[in-house]
Chain A
Amino acid sequence: MPDVLEPADPRGRDRALTADDAAGQRHGGAATPAEGSVPLAAPPRPDAAVSQQTPLLLFQHVSKWYGPVIGLNEVTLELRDGITGLVGANGAGKSTLMRLATGQLRPDLGSVRVRGHDAWSAQAKQLVGYCPDGDAFYEEMSGRQFIETMGRLCGYSRACARRRAAELLELVGMAGRAERRLRGYSKGMRQRVKLAAALVHDPPLLILDEPLSGIDPIGRQEFLTLFRGLAARGKCLLVSSHELDELEKLTEHVAIMARGRIAAVGTLAQIRDLLDDHPLSVLVAADDPRELATALLALDDVVGVDLGDQESLVVRARNPRRFFRDFGRLVLEEDWEIRRLEPLDESAHAILGYLLGGRR
């Protein structure tokens, strides 16, 4: 749960929304407070339960440099179960985080642990299934051969690898096309094969880098159902995507990255609620927008009003709950006819925009 907020800094430093350890473990995604932060305790979710187990994935003050370029900057993140979305602009550090979690990179500072094991170790990798963004295969191999090879790399015997490959190809819907060479696969088919390769050793933690990329809409629904099913079976999924709409369908819980840091962790609504220095924008369509604008400016939570065309305006307000309450009261008192009322930034797009934009 996101309930730690650094105080606003007039010098414009990055603010990190981080989550409290003690709450909201059920849906994953908890991070320790950043140093110097002022904890604001948000009410725990009713279904939150504190897990007593070792975190499945734990980043502790992890930093990673590529020469002079910093890939991750003091990242602390903890996952236990459920589905956590990972969003961020290009270059935010998502892929670096995933590669650190899958043991392909070593952190320069801090530690990355998978159920207590160093992420670099073979024991940790046994617990992690990785579906990478790229799909560079050995094109001459068939899908079945590729999955079998991945199974052999995980420690299956030849017979077990063959059986497991058959099961997983059935799972991802590729059983009828498994004998074709990878060279002849479409993008979507490659994604399915990659997912099967990630699941081959039944890992408790799945790290999926853009898993919906290239999948047709029907396939996406299948995959979303599959991911939910895997989470229901106790697996922890960390899913990165640029398709924020799809991610919202999959999970409420997201970690937003910006410039190598975890900028916010929690549900989209909770993150939104905590952004009190970033006003909510609401589109209002009414007969007399100018009069409406004058009345709205009198409200305490309204920061500004932008008049659009002759029939609508955009009001920027803090504290959405209080604003909508006051707005409703105002509309009833003045008997205004409101034809349209639309928050412009409830979606993750807007949250990203607030967190990532405007800081150069």
Chain B
Amino acid sequence: MGASLLHYRPWRGRFRDPAWSVWPIARVGLGVVLRRKLFWGLYALALLFFLMFFFGQYLLAYADTMELPPLILRQARGGLQLDGSGVMYRNFFRLQGSMVVVVLALAGSMLMGNDFQFGSLPFYLAKPLTPRHYLVGKFLAVAVFVNLLTTVPALALFAQYGLLTSSDYFFEHADLAAGIVAYGLVLTACLSLLLLAMAGWLRRTIPLIMAWTTLFFFLRQLAFALVYILGYDARWRLIDLWNDTYLVGNACLGIEHGTVRPLPQPETYEAALVLGAVCLACLTYLNLRIRAVEIVR
């Protein structure tokens, strides 16, 4: 059938606010990643940690009914601190973090890098929305991944512990639930902005993975060596962004700074400042970067 104006009707209705375009942008990004089998494989691996905590709590609750010797129960709980405290959730976030980093490294180029590399950005920016809406949409897509791997499973563990022990747990430890959400928000904000900025800069998967690895593994090792081997000031640990989120997350979960290991560690407010500066730098870069054209490369 050929092209014809026979069925063309002008639009007489009203359009919604550009803010409504955020979810379609996020949905397209999510669809691109979720169609990949590799992502589901990595997500399954990431869920193993969750399942370890989940079944660990369940087994311990079952073991309580078996009237096992307290020493055995203490040993069983001690490993992962499966006691419903903030430390348990902190440990979960820390273990899950490695998988989050891997998943995001692979997803980043698909979510945003391809828009720059293959030139699909004009389709977005020529529509009645601003670059801000585009960024928020992509941010939302990354946030979904981060929270699917961290916050949502942590809240599931919180709910499970309360159901297995006592409903009073929910009321007495409501601040823990808020802390889990806050820790998730910190991870979401920092990782999402970092990922979008790096994906906008590097675009391709392999360079993005290399840069991401440098940021989260190499700098971590470097900070460790500087502080614990060479004896430099504890503030050198601030170059380890994952440790910075860890310190801020500890504060969200109400864990005292002095109980964080290994020591010495920088202050929580210093870590928060570094994370804030990184987020600001990423936002600034993204604001400049969202242009559709690079005629002069």
**A154 close to B (CB within 8 Å):** yes
Among B28, B35, B123, B296, the one with the most A-chain Cβ atoms within 10 Å of its Cβ is B123
- Chain A 166-182 interface residues, beta-carbon cutoff 8 Å to B: 167-168, 170-173, 175-176
Fill in one digit per residue for B128-148: 1 if any A CB lies within 8 Å of its CB, else 0. Answer: 111000000000000000000
Q: Is B295 an interface residue (CB 8 A)?
A: yes
| A residues 59-103 touching B (CB-CB < 8 Å) | 66-67, 69, 71, 95-96, 99, 102-103
**CB atoms of B122 and A154 under 8 A apart:** no
Q: Within 8 Å of chain A (Cβ to Cβ): is B281?
A: no
Q: Total interface residues on B, using CB and 8 Å?
A: 41
Cβ of B243: which chain A residues have Cβ within 8 Å of it?
A: none
Q: Are A222 and B292 in contact (CB under 8 A)?
A: no
Mask of B283-297 contacts with A, CB within 8 angstroms, 1/0: 000000001110110
B23 to nearest A CB, angstroms? 8
How many angstroms between the C-alpha atoms of A104 and B16 in the bound complex? Answer: 21
Known: A104-B291, A155-B18. A138 touches B32 (CB 8 A): yes
Chain A residue, CB-CB nearest to B9: A167
In the assembled complex, how far is the CB of residue B224 from the closest CB belonging to chain A, in whole angstroms?
Answer: 41
How many residue pairs, one in A and one in B, have C-beta atoms under 8 Å apart? Answer: 137
Min CB distance A25 to B, Å, is: 22
Chain B nearest CB, measured from A250 CB (Å): 14
In the bound complex, do residue B18 and residue A103 qualify as a contact, i.e. CB atoms below 8 Å apart?
Answer: no
Known A67-B296, A134-B122, A155-B128; contact A164-B11, beta-carbon cutoff 8 A: yes
Please give, as numbers and ranges, the residues of chain B lying within 8 Å of A226 by CB-CB distance: 3-5
Name the interface residues of A193-210: CB closer than 8 Å to any CB of B: 197, 199, 201-202
* Residue pair A95, B293 in contact (C-beta under 8 Å): yes
A186: min CB distance to chain B, Å = 15
B31 proximity list for chain A (CB < 8 A): 138, 140-141
Cβ–Cβ < 8 Å partners of A192 in chain B: 3
Contacting residues, chain A, for B276 (C-beta < 8 A):
none
- Cα-based distance from A229 to B296 in the complex (angstroms): 37
A155-B18, A173-B3, A233-B5 in contact; A140/B128 too (CB < 8 A)?
no
Q: Which of B111-159 contact A (CB under 8 A)?
A: 118-130
17 A-B pairs whose Cβ atoms sit less than 8 Å apart in the complex: A120-B130, A122-B128, A122-B130, A136-B118, A138-B28, A140-B32, A140-B35, A141-B28, A155-B17, A156-B16, A167-B7, A171-B3, A172-B3, A175-B1, A199-B8, A201-B11, A233-B10
Instruction: Pick the 4 closest A-B CB pairs, nearest first.
Output: A155-B15, A130-B126, A136-B118, A66-B296
Which positions in B face A, CB cutoff 8 Å?
1-5, 7-11, 13, 15-18, 20-21, 24-25, 28, 31-32, 35, 118-130, 291-293, 295-296
